[in-house]
Amino acid sequence: MQERPWRDFDWPLLTALTLLCGVSLVALYSIDAAPGEATDWHQKFWFKQLLWCSIGYVLFFWVTRLNFQRVFDAAPYIYAVTVLLLVAVLIVGVKINGQRCWIRLGPLGTLQPSEFAKLGTILLVARILRPISIQGVTWPQLALVAVVTLIPVGLTLRQPDTGTALTFFPPVLVMVFLSGISVRWVVGSALTGLVIGPLLFVFVIEPRLKQYQRDRINVTWNAIFHPERLQDRQTREGFGYQTLQSMIAVGSGGILGRGFRGGTQSQGGFVPAHHSDFIASVIAEEFGLVGSLGVLALLLFVILHSANVAGRSRERFSMLVLAGYMTLLAFHVIVNFGMVVGLVPIIGIPLPLLSAGGSSLLMTFVSLGLVANVYGRRFSN
């Protein structure tokens, strides 16, 4: 990359990233124009998102120039800092809607340490799994990976933020699988999970769920199998309200959408968290199925592009890091769109590069910077 940095630069990824950020700013600008939203320009969602995007681009270009060996060396320290931030948020964090997940940053808003803990965990797990043996992953490696993963998961659950805690597992499982775990062990674990999983949920997990969590699961079950039950008044005005309003917004957009600032649900503020976790409902209502498919195509390109770069990586650590992040990104996209159309219970997972919020945005910029870094070194020895 030192010889011809701009010719080898990952222009396709940067283009997709910029287009997604542009869609986010347009959607947030539309929301900010709605009655009842903040009138001061520095409090508007689109303006704060623009500031975070500016910082994100600086981090993106900086990360593309990093020596990946330094990333490998710094992985334990990055992980330690993110864990300390998770501890700090439990002590001095801001409590919003019953969750203590954020540290206040003055005019910039808040910082969510759990978002950065995901990347810190991926980096350290990749470092642990980098040494390879004939037998594949060893039991000591698996034990260490489990400890490294469960520490941030446990701290995140204490906030409590179950949705974010769940996102730690898919990338770690994929990295372990790619590290050469026995196929018999994978098949045996899958079969065991199919048998024990339902029993574990019924007798262990379900009794410990809070009532609102049960209600959200029931709403999703009804949305899939018994849509007529969503018309029940208690469901419409209770925990089914957000899901139902989001589904109405998506349906009202039709094929081409109702136009910029033309959405009744988004402009009326009927969908809670329409600037963050449910930004996809705004896009679907105003730009229709065509706009939603365009956004999905861009996100799918970023995921597949990251997978391709990971597969062509000549170094095991960078391959595992990119594979882990690709899985995390795919999990976010699938779950977020599933929430918006009522196929997944609401668990508060943002849509990368589109939902308002600096923490998720910066983490995504840094992670994609690592993808561009590996892409730029694809011709090096």
Each residue's pLDDT tens digit, 192-242: 767 776 766 666 566 666 776 777 777 777 777 777 666 676 666 667 788
Instruction: Look at residue 28 in the predicted model and tell me its pLDDT.
Output: 92
Domain endpoint, select from 180, 208, 236: 208
Number of domains in the chain: 2
Domain endpoint, select from 208, 225, 247: 208
Same domain, 108 and 183: yes
In a domain, 59, yes or no: no
In a domain, 199, yes or no: yes
Q: Who's near 97: CB < 8 A, 6+ residues apart?
A: none
Q: Is the dihedral of CA 218, 223, 229, 233 positive or negative?
A: positive
What is the rounded CA–CA span in Å between residue 88 and residue 93?
7
Instruction: Look at residue 60 in the predicted model and tell me its pLDDT.
Output: 96
In a domain, 15, yes or no: yes
In a domain, 54, yes or no: no
Query: Phi/psi at 342 (nearest 5 deg)?
Result: 80, 15
Same domain, 267 and 279: yes
Same domain, 222 and 203: no
Q: Who's near 167: CB < 8 A, 6+ residues apart?
A: 118, 328, 331, 332, 349
Same domain, 289 and 322: yes
Same domain, 79 and 96: yes
Instruction: Look at residue 34 in the predicted model and tell me its pLDDT.
Output: 63
Same domain, 234 and 106: no
Instruction: Look at residue 36 in the predicted model and tell me its pLDDT.
Output: 56
Same domain, 191 and 225: no
In a domain, 90, yes or no: yes
In a domain, 57, yes or no: no
Q: Is the dihedral of CA 322, 324, 328, 330 positive or negative?
A: positive
In a domain, 49, yes or no: no
Contact 46, 80 (CB under 8 A): no
Instruction: Look at residue 301 in the predicted model and tell me its pLDDT.
Output: 96
Same domain, 173 and 149: yes
Structural domain of 222: 1-41+210-381
Q: What is the pLDDT of residues 303-314, one digit of tens each?
A: 999 999 998 888
Q: Who's near 113: CB < 8 A, 6+ residues apart?
A: 82, 85, 86, 88, 89, 103, 359
Domain endpoint, select from 147, 175, 208: 208
Same domain, 279 and 318: yes
- The amino acid at residue 290 is V
In a domain, 27, yes or no: yes
What is the rounded CA–CA span in Å between residue 148 and residue 137?
16
Same domain, 95 and 160: yes
Same domain, 270 and 190: no
For the chain of 381 residues, list the mean pLDDT of each consecutive stretch of 10.
65 95 93 64 81 95 91 94 94 82 78 93 94 74 92 91 90 89 70 71 64 74 70 67 85 86 80 87 92 96 94 90 95 94 86 91 95 83 46
Cβ-count burial of 159 within 10 angstroms (0-12 exposed, 13-18 middle, 19+ buried)?
buried
Same domain, 109 and 236: no
pTM (predicted TM-score): 0.90
